[in-house]
A = this chain, B = another copy of it.
Amino acid sequence: MNLPDLYRHTLLDDVIPFWLRHGVDREYGGFLTALDRDGSVIDTDKSVWFQGRGAWTFATLCLKYGDRPEWRDAAAGAIDFLRRYCFSPSGKMYFTVTRDGRPLRMRRYVFSESFAAIACAAWHRLTGEEQARGDALRCFATYLQHSFTPGVMPAKVDPATRPMTGIGPLMIGIATAQELRRHLGDVIVEDRSMTGWIDFAIDRIERLFMKPQHRALMEVVAPDGGIIDHFDGRTLNPGHALECAWFLMEEGRHRGAARLIELGTTILDWMWERGWDQQFGGIFYFRDLRDLPVQEYWHDMKFWWPHNEAEIATLMAWKLTGRQKYADWHRLVHDWSFKHFPDPEHGEWYGYLHRDGSVSTRLKGNMWKGLFHLPRMLMVCGKLAE
């Protein structure tokens, strides 16, 4: 099968049907993501992230592949569930709720808000519903306030002793603003346009997190960009960095800005070198800046999502620059992924492999794996491969 057909077939005949069959809550709306290998639900608690991510995926499918009632219904159920059950009285969103929408966990982070924002933006584009437009803007405003107004989000580590800042809110800020701009136009939220927020984030990523002397994109730095020479400060996340790389390349493509494309391929070059496992193939989960041991136990495991992000980054880099090495890298990560992750018997992909590519758990989903990275990769790469 040629690449465009393989991406389309995997998306429309395997992944999406698996989630439609097993992951849609027909009783309360929204998505159940804790699925065993064969799709049986093994935990009914709901990830708020995945209500937004799943709604975004189904609304985007309708926009890209043509409106289908079962896709639209799945998105509608999750949008409704988000509105009814996922906001705390303060307006901040929960992290998990029960199947019927009672609150379980509130976390410091505001990624629930970023995923709800892209869901509502795509839903507005699909349906024209005005409320969804307002919801998207409100969720992104909360995201920006908590992420970038000093002091709003409580720090994990005492900021008087060791102030730290992470790349996550900047990266996700870029991707969220890109989606809102795509569907709502270059609207203004919290005193900046979407393009303005993207510039804000790219500037910080470039100044604070990119380290040419180390050929590394950091995950966490001091507020002045200084390297924090402790476990957390040295821990690199190649899959996360490759995701960031393609957000920057995509922005370069959108603006026709070669500088941004180059910024993205620079990160790709650095972090492919650090992330690709020369011995067993696949992308490591964590690496240390100075090749010291990492504290996280799953550092050498192969998770599905870094492979999805690497597949997009390499294909996009090849398409935008024409450099052969990116085609070679794309082939490497594509072949490794399609060899090790899919479950031909029950469909969808395993999420968690050992370093050598053997399956660590038969889970198809949980509070961290649902309908997002894989279908996004299949949609983005499908378009790039055309």
Contact = CB atoms under 8 A, between A and B. Distances in A.
Interface of A: 34, 36-37, 42-45, 98, 102-106, 156-158, 160-162, 230-231, 292-295, 297-301, 352, 354-355, 360-363, 366-368
Contact of A297 (B34, B102, B160, B297): B297
Contacts of A98: 161-162
Given A231-B34, A292-B36, A361-B293, A104 B161 contact: yes
A34 B293 CA distance: 10
A233 to B, nearest CB: 9
Contact of A231 (B43, B158, B162): B43
A45 B295 CA distance: 13
A104 B162 contact: yes
Contacts of A157: 104-105
Contacts of A294: 361
A222 to B, nearest CB: 14
Nearest to A301: B297
B293 A36 contact: yes
25 contacts: A34-B295, A36-B292, A36-B293, A42-B292, A44-B230, A45-B230, A98-B161, A102-B158, A103-B158, A103-B160, A104-B157, A104-B158, A104-B161, A104-B162, A105-B158, A293-B361, A295-B363, A295-B366, A295-B368, A297-B297, A297-B301, A297-B352, A297-B361, A299-B360, A300-B361
User: What are the 8 closest A-B residue pairs judged by CB atoms, nearest first?
Assistant: A297-B298, A293-B363, A102-B161, A293-B361, A43-B230, A103-B158, A295-B366, A42-B292
Nearest to A300: B360
Given A36-B292, A231-B366, A293-B363, 4 more contacts: A37-B293, A44-B230, A102-B158, A103-B160
